[in-house]
Amino acid sequence: MVGLNYRSSTIVGEYREPIRRALGHPIAEVPAWLDFGHGPSPGDRAPDGEIHTAGAVEPSRLFEQIRGFTHFLLLFTGLQNSDAQLSELEKAISQIQKNYSDFVRCLVVASVGEIASSNQLEQLILLDKDGSLHHKYGAAHSCLYLIRPDGYVGFRSQPVELNELQKYFEKAYSFSTALASTTTD
């Protein structure tokens, strides 16, 4: 059933910063905006890939980390990690866990080597050493993907925009808890 998709479903959604805003950034931002369009669309099956977890010697698979009966929010760092960016993702995770801990589990997919982070964030990091998972998800810059328990993309956002995620939760699941606005660039 891998070829099956739910793109036309009323309970999938996405937020993409308009191209005119991407054009206002340095030219490197435009390819990242276009790259996101090549990632899985809401309603598509989430792609699998090799990842590394903290303390593990052998690599694992993304699907091994996101199986179960909950939603998983994958927060991609993009191909260039920065301490400021990780700090923003950590704030986003705190807000999501505060409001949706029974519904959503957060994971950070990082693309490069050693990442200085708090102990809380370190336990949530999946390392994409060769960047292939970032490529499959069109995640040249920071973005998020909400993966439903059935393994399909329910929502995606570039940049990470918690207000848009909140709107999605309200529409698809009738949640009304407010999330603080967080945008990472």
- Whether residue 32 is contained in a domain is answered as yes
- Whether residue 183 is contained in a domain is answered as no
30 vs 115, residue with greater confidence: 30
- Whether residue 3 is contained in a domain is answered as no
Q: What is the mean pLDDT of residues 99-116?
A: 82
CATH code where residue 67 lies: 3.40.30.10
- Whether residue 180 is contained in a domain is answered as no
Q: What is the mean pLDDT of residues 48-73?
A: 92
Which ranges constitute the DSSP H helices of the chain? 19-23, 29-36, 62-65, 83-100, 119-122, 132-136, 162-173
pLDDT for the residue numbered 26: 52
Whole-structure pTM value: 0.86
Number of domains in the chain: 1
pLDDT for the residue numbered 10: 84
Q: Can you tell me the distance from the alpha carbon of 109 to that of 53, in angstroms, rounded to the nearest whole number?
A: 10
pLDDT for the residue numbered 27: 47
pLDDT for the residue numbered 88: 86
Q: Can you tell me the distance from the alpha carbon of 137 to that of 56, in angstroms, rounded to the nearest whole number?
A: 24
Contact 147, 154 (CB under 8 A): yes
Q: Can you tell me the distance from the alpha carbon of 100 to that of 149, in angstroms, rounded to the nearest whole number?
A: 15
- Whether residue 1 is contained in a domain is answered as no
pLDDT for the residue numbered 69: 92
- Whether residue 25 is contained in a domain is answered as yes
- 3-state SS, 145-166, equals EEECCCCEEEEEEECCEHHHHH
pLDDT for the residue numbered 79: 86
The CB-based long-range contact list for 175-182 (8 Å cut-off, 24+ gap) reads: 175/99, 175/100, 175/103, 177/99, 177/100, 178/99, 179/95, 179/96, 179/99, 180/91, 180/95, 182/88, 182/91, 182/92, 182/95
- Whether residue 41 is contained in a domain is answered as yes
Contact 182, 139 (CB under 8 A): no
Structural domain of residue 89, as residue ranges?
Answer: 13-173
User: Tokens representing 159?
Assistant: 């940049």
- Whether residue 179 is contained in a domain is answered as no
The residues that bridge with 155 in the sheet, in sequence order, are 13, 146
